[in-house]
Each structure stands twice: as C-alpha cells, then as structure tokens.
Amino acid sequence: MGNHRQVTEPVSVPDARGYYGEYGGRFVPETLVPALDELIEAFESAMADPAFLTRFADLQATYTGRPTPLTYARRLSDHLGGARIYLKREDLAHTGAHKINNALGQALLAERMGKRRIVAETGAGQHGVAAATACALLGLECHVYMGSVDMARQRPNVFRMQLLGAEVIPVESGSRTLKDAINEAIRDWVTNVDTTHYLLGSALGPHPYPLMVREFQSVIGIEARQQMIEQAGRLPDTVIACVGGGSNAIGIFHAFRDDDPIDLIGVEAGGCGIGSGEHAARFADPATGRPGVLHGTRSYVLQDADGQIRNTYSVSAGLDYAAVGPEHAYLRQLERAFYTYATDDEALSAFQTLCQLEGIIPALESAHAVAETIKRAPAMPRDSIILVNLSGRGDKDLDTVIAQLGGQA
Ligand SMILES: *Cc1c(COP(=O)(O)O)cnc(C)c1O
C-alpha cells in the first residue's frame, strides 16, 4: 500500500520538555510554569495509579458508554465498490462526540489535584458542553469562555451549558470567536492558578496538554484496533480522521502508529477551497500555513506575511481553528501520517451520502473524513479496509445543513 516510508526515528514522543521534534514545547507566561509542572506531576502519577485508571475506566463504561461500537458500512462499501469501510462510532458516546473522553479525564485529574474550579474555552460549544457535563458529574465549578459571535450562532449549546450548571462568559475582544475565548481562559487561569484547572479541549496548548489529551483520547484507537481484529480478522490498511486541533485523529492514530505500513490520513477543513483563502487547512498551503507559536505551542499556524494569525473558515465549527496540534506537525514531517483536506461542498455531499446509505447522521467535522474515504475507497482493492473515525453525530449541525442545502436534502 501507498506512499509511506519506513519510520526510522523514534515516535514515542514527546521528549521531557514536551517537544515533538521541533514542534510543541511550552510558550507561556512565567506564572504558569509551576502550574504546568504540577500538572505534569499529577498526570504522571495518575496514569501510574491503578485506582485512578480503574475509576476512569468505570466511568467510561458506565457513563460515557464505552466501548463505542465499530460498524461495518456495508452499503457505503458496496456503493463505492472498493475498500471495505468500518466506522468507529464516537458519535454514540455520551454528549455525541469524542470530546467527553478528554473532558472526563481532565476533570478527574483536576479533582485529584484538589482544584475544584474549572475554566474552559469553547468555539461552537461542543467542548464547553463536554466540560460542563464532566463538571456536573464530579461536582466541580465550571466557567466557560465563549466569543460573543459564537454565542449568538450557537444558542442551543449556550443553553445546554447553563442547564448543566456552568457559567458561560461572553468574550468581546478580537474577532469574538474561539481564538479570543482561549486568550481569556488563559488569562483567567494565570489569575486563579492556585484554585483552578484549565480544561483545554484539543491536542493543543503548552506541554503537557497535547500529551495528556492524546492519552485520554487514545482509548478510541485501542478499542478500534481490538474490534477490527474481532470483526474483520485483521487490521485496516488505512485510518482516516478529521483534524481540527487534532484530538480525535491522534486518539485513533496512536494505537496504529507502530503498525507500519498502515496509512494514517488526517483531513483538514478546505472550506471554500485553498485558493479562496477561506479555509482552515494549515498544511495545505505553504504560503499561509507555516510553523509558528499560538496559544503556548509551536506548530503549523495559518498566518499572514507579518505573522498575524489569519481568520479561518469552515462550514464545520469544530475544524475552524488557525493552529493544529504539534504532534500532527511532527507525524507529517516524519511522513508517518499524511494530511489532506475536504471542502465544504465535499463534506456536505459526504454527509448526505452517509445519511442515505447507512442511516447515520454524522457531525460535519466527521463528514470531512467520510469525504476523503469516498475519494479513496473506489481505487482500493475489495479485500482492503479503511477505518474511519466518526468523531461525532450531526444533530448539532442540522440548522447549518438546512441553510447550506436550501431545504433540499
Ligand atoms: C470538536 C470536534 C472535532 C475537532 O476537534 P479535534 O480536536 O480535531 O478532534 C471533530 N469532530 C467533532 C464531532 C467535534 O465535536
């Protein structure tokens, strides 16, 4: 299969300073260094503590609904006439996406550190809802920063977070969207660091966040690997996931990374097309997507010639962010993973295809991974297998899809 090469460099990353090759690290104000050190220590001791791991696993089973199923997409596979397609069903996790895996893990860690006040950022509200859910479950205080533009666009999620007992704090600075909400959440954390844990929503931010989020999401790939062997008798040839910050992708990739030659494919948001400038594909266009520092980590960032962060666009709010997790930049450099994009139109078309052929309404984010699957599967032999991470369900996206399709399903 494919275009991979033998991986010769070590891939058990990051190093002790949180670097994935030249990416990652921690670019934070001095006041946060002790808090990050404390977090590293708490995380390492928790992951070595059977009591913590048992409690986490119990909640995943009895609350989140893990393991999530692996579904053979028979009609989609037959329709495309190539590779057999299996879907990892994170859409069936509690709150409707993979985000709860990380929110629950970090909330348990905050509890362990004796920090009962949580701050979080949210763009479309999905991570805010997952954080508010985990906080309600554990009885933690939850404050969610959200751009006022996003609040207006995502009223139902604002109401969900409030129902779950969280305070939603409008952010009026900058473009009043996700990037500004992260800035405010970090500001709050700097001020209240003794009592507060910052529950970051993707495989981003300063060390140890990208590592911690990967470990809390790696359950996706661990389960899927075992389920593939049970159901298909072997591992997939290709694993495909959408990439916003990169947490669901790294969560499914991680269990397969030493299985050379399995192709790992990340799909970014191509928006209206790369040439239009209206997208969030950090790896697609060297003129705008370049290494830089955003929100505490060094990775690929969409920026203008002066290093100003560019505004991004995607029909799917969860992929609409200017930076990508540092481990993805590293996997790409190693050529262990490959990155491509799907446009809004391709994702909307894939969304409809999955609805009609499998009876599954995917999140628009996940529809980007399905779109790449639709491009690849026909050219692959009938005995090959693609594993797709269906990161979430599409109920949240119905208004957007209705508007895009003009009421014509
Ligand atoms: C938030 C979200 C994403 C993007 O976030 P990652 O950290 O890249 O996984 C993808 N899919 C769904 C359903 C989401 O809610």
| Segment 284-299, tens digit of pLDDT | 989 899 999 999 999 9
276 flagged as catalytic: no
Q: Which residue puts its alpha carbon closest to atom 2 of ligand 1?
A: 318
Q: Which residue puts its alpha carbon closest to atom 13 of ligand 1?
A: 392
Q: Ligand 1 pocket by C-beta < 6 Å: which residues? A: 97, 99, 126, 202, 242-249, 318-319, 363, 365-366, 391-392
User: What pairing do the DSSP bridges indicate for beta strands 289-294 and 297-302?
Assistant: antiparallel
Burial of 190 (0-12, 13-18, 19+ CB in 10 A): middle
Least confidently predicted of 6-10, 96-100, 182-186, 200-204: 6-10
3-state secondary structure (DSSP) of residue 389: strand
99 flagged as catalytic: yes
Q: Which residue puts its alpha carbon closest to atom 5 of ligand 1?
A: 244
Order across the sheet with 289-294: list the strands: 19-20, 23-24, 297-302, 289-294
Global pTM value:
0.96
| Catalytic one of 88, 90, 99, 299 | 99
179 flagged as catalytic: no
Q: Sorting pLDDT into bands at 50, 70 and 90, what band is 5? A: very low
Ligand 1, residue 366: give the atom nearest the CA: 11
| Catalytic one of 90, 121, 327, 346 | 121
Q: Sorting pLDDT into bands at 50, 70 and 90, what band is 7? A: very low
Token pair 């899809």 is found at 401
What pLDDT sits at residue 154? 87
3-state secondary structure (DSSP) of residue 89: strand
Separation of alpha carbons 115 and 138, rounded Å: 12
Least confidently predicted of 141-155, 326-340, 373-387: 141-155
Please check the confidence at residue 11 and state whether its pLDDT lies above 60.
Answer: no
What pLDDT sits at residue 1? 38
Mean predicted lDDT score pLDDT of the chain: 95
Ligand 1 probe mutation, 248, 361, 366, most atoms within 8 A of CB: 248
Least confidently predicted of 170-179, 244-253, 346-355: 170-179
Given a contact cutoff of 8 angstroms between Cβ atoms, the answer to whether 234 and 383 are in contact is no
Q: Sorting pLDDT into bands at 50, 70 and 90, what band is 408? A: low
| Catalytic one of 77, 316, 366, 391 | 391
User: What size, in residues, is the chain?
Assistant: 409
CA of 99 to the centre of ligand 1 (A): 7
Q: What does the longest C-alpha to C-alpha distance in the chain come to? A: 57
